[in-house]
Amino acid sequence: MNKNLQFLEIKRMDPKVMPVPKRVKNYREIYGHYSTRNAAEQSGRCIECGNPYCEWKCPVHNYIPQWLKLIEENKLFEAAELSHQTNSLPEICGRICPQDRLCEDACTLNDGLGAVTIGSIEKYITDEAFKKGWKPDMSNVRQTPFKVGIVGAGPAGLACADVLTRNGIKPIVYDKYEEIGGLLTFGIPPFKLEKEVVLKRKKILEGMGVEFRLNTDIGNDISFNTFKSKYDAVFLGMGTYTYMKGGFNGESLNGVHDALPYLKSNVRKLFNPKNNFIDMQGKTVMVLGGGDTAMDANRTAIRQGAKKVYCAYRRNEENMPGSRREIRNSKEEGIEFLWNMQPIEILGKDKVLAVKFLKTKSQKTHTGDRGIPPLVIPNSEKIIKVDSVIIAFGFRPNPSPWFEENKIKLDSIGRVVLNNDSQYSHQTHNPKIFSGGDMVRGSDLVVTAVFEGRNAAQGIIKYLGDKKKKK
């Protein structure tokens, strides 16, 4: 086969997806795995265009064409080694990155021919390499005497720990939850990311020298000053956990839930069936919001056996922030979307009975209608009867009381402001403290949190190296 025309003869083929009637009855990941042959063929579709836009659009700038070539040539361990040079959680990003607006959107073949299945191949590389016994090569690491305390075992904290340990610096990662992963474990549902994948990564990181101290809330179980005094530098990757509200009547009625506690309770029940959880079985549910969290709530309610799930969003479908793939999956699983609907009140006395909306229309500009509130159409009220409402309006930071005394500066919405005058990447205004992920950027993506955690680790390595030289 002519290599340059392989993309014409071999069509894009995603891994098999579980049929809808089966997948809504369980919480397993809905996408299957490539065989070695499928992975090689799909990798071979890359035309090596010379200007890899995919690499630029990928937030961690993965060496995509190079590892595709290695998989085409069946060099799995080399591909795994290369993939880990830029990404600390490749098997996770391969599963849950919105590839349709990142790497695959930028693929030269994404022009009617079908982009290379970059995400699925990235997932294949690490899953398969782990299965065959591959581990990151730590044989050349020279240990230093430095120790870094990390607050938060989410993607940012894990990525920071990964880079530090590969550079001989001991990371000790604290989290207030009972398991690592942050939102990977206690947010994103298992049908997108099975928890075994995160636990496998935990084992790998522990094998590389990362130490975890779980069930430990820094600031409560240990004062921040005591914590800070134990380490040569500190990284904060604490995420954003203030739930946004709609500001209308009825939000505190019984039967109205914030999306994250709802999703978290479902995961905890899957960990241990004796745990209490918020159950939507037999209910008519209204999910308010249009992002990934809303899609996850929709699909969880369906799996719990909800009678009917509506998802209402105040703009049109085109302008929904959720990944296209997740919107498609929600539709397939039976969610009824109500676009251009602005909730104005949740009705009920002791408990929720209905949601009142006004219809909206988009205000189009040359850049679309993102960022501009849609126009509410007067006298367009609509009331929809429901048993439960799940609010998924996004998250804001939740700065800790000890930030101020530690000179950690914040912006007007509570995000950590990095010291732009510093020569050390991701340093805050307190030289010993570095930060990254959602608490710096605002709620975003796993891959951007990974990028920031890795960059912060580079900042810490340089900071500690310079400190040593000055001694």
Single residue of 39, 161, 233, 445 touching ligand FAD by CB under 6 A: 445
**Quick check: 382 and 356 in contact, CB under 8 A?**
yes
What are the backbone angles phi and psi of residue 70, rounded to the nearest 5°? -60, -40
| CB of 114 or CB of 453, closer to ligand FAD | 453
CA dihedral 373, 374, 379, 382 (to 10 degrees): -100
Q: Is 260 in the site for ligand FAD (CB under 6 A)?
A: yes
Kindly write out the interface string for residues 377-396 of this chain, putting x where it contacts ligand FAD by CB under 6 A and - elsewhere. --------------------
Considering CB distances under 5 to 8 angstroms, the limit depending on partner class, which of ligand SF4, ligand FAD, none binds residue 187?
Answer: ligand FAD
Q: Does 148 bind ligand FAD (CB under 6 A)?
A: no
Residue 42 binding ligand SF4, by CB under 6 A = no
Quick one: 65 or 152, whose CB is closer to ligand FAD?
A: 152
Candidate residues 238, 352, 355, 408; the one interacting with ligand FAD per rule CB under 6 A: 238
The Cβ of residue 331 has, within 10 Å, a number of other Cβ atoms equal to 15
Determine contact, residues 314/342, Cβ cutoff 8 Å: yes
Q: At residue 31, what are phi and psi to the nearest 5 degrees?
A: -95, 140
**Nearer of residues 183 and 461 to ligand FAD, judged by Cβ:** 183
Q: Could you give the CA distance from residue 266 to residue 256 in angstroms, rounded to a whole number?
A: 16
| Site for ligand SF4 contains 68 (CB under 6 A) | no
Maximum separation of any 2 CA atoms in the chain, in Å: 72
Q: Show the site string, 274-293: x = touches ligand FAD by CB under 6 A, - = not.
A: ------------------xx
Collapsing DSSP states into helix, strand and coil, what is residue 375? strand
Among ligand FAD, ligand SF4, none, partner that 182 touches (CB below 5 to 8 angstroms by kind): ligand FAD
Rounded to a whole number of angstroms, the minimum distance from the CB of residue 95 to ligand SF4 is 8
For residue 158, the one-letter residue type is: L
What is the C-alpha separation between 186 and 214, in angstroms, rounded? 14
Strand arrangement, sheet containing 233-236: 211-213, 170-174, 147-151, 233-236, 433-435
Q: Does 60 bind ligand SF4 (CB under 6 A)?
A: yes
| 258 counts as binding ligand SF4 under rule CB under 6 A | no
Interface with ligand SF4 includes 106 (CB under 6 A)?
no
Binder among 82, 103, 193, 267 for ligand SF4 (CB under 6 A): 103
Q: How many CA atoms lie within 13 A of 322 on its CB side?
A: 29
Query: Could you say whether residue 79 binds ligand SF4 (CB under 6 A)?
Result: no
CA separation, residue 65 to residues 36, 77, 241, 379 (Å): 18, 16, 37, 55
Binder of residue 125, out of ligand SF4, ligand FAD, none (CB less than 5 to 8 A by kind): none
Q: Closest CB to ligand SF4 among 87 and 428?
A: 87
- Does 109 bind ligand SF4 (CB under 6 A)? Our answer is no
449 binds ligand FAD (CB under 6 A): yes
Nearest CA to 34 among 89, 87, 64, 76? 76
User: What is the spatial distance between Cα 388 and Cα 354, in angstroms, rounded to a whole number?
Assistant: 8
Q: How many residues does the chain have?
A: 471
Instruction: Confirm or reject binding of residue 87 to ligand SF4 (CB under 6 A).
Output: yes
176 binds ligand FAD, rule: CB under 6 A = yes
Smallest separation, CB 210 to ligand FAD (Å):
15
Tokens standing for residue 261: 């506690």
Residue 287 contacts ligand SF4 per CB under 6 A: no
Interaction between residue 182 and ligand FAD (CB under 6 A): yes
The three-state (H, E, C) secondary structure of 301-362, written as one string: HHHHCCCEEEEECCCCHHHCCCCHHHHHHHHHCCCEEECCEEEEEEEECCEEEEEEEEEEEC
Closest to ligand FAD by CB, 329 or 360: 329
Footprint on this chain of ligand FAD (rule: CB under 6 A): 96-97, 151-157, 174-177, 182-183, 187-188, 192, 217-219, 237-239, 260, 263, 292-293, 296, 437-438, 443-447, 449
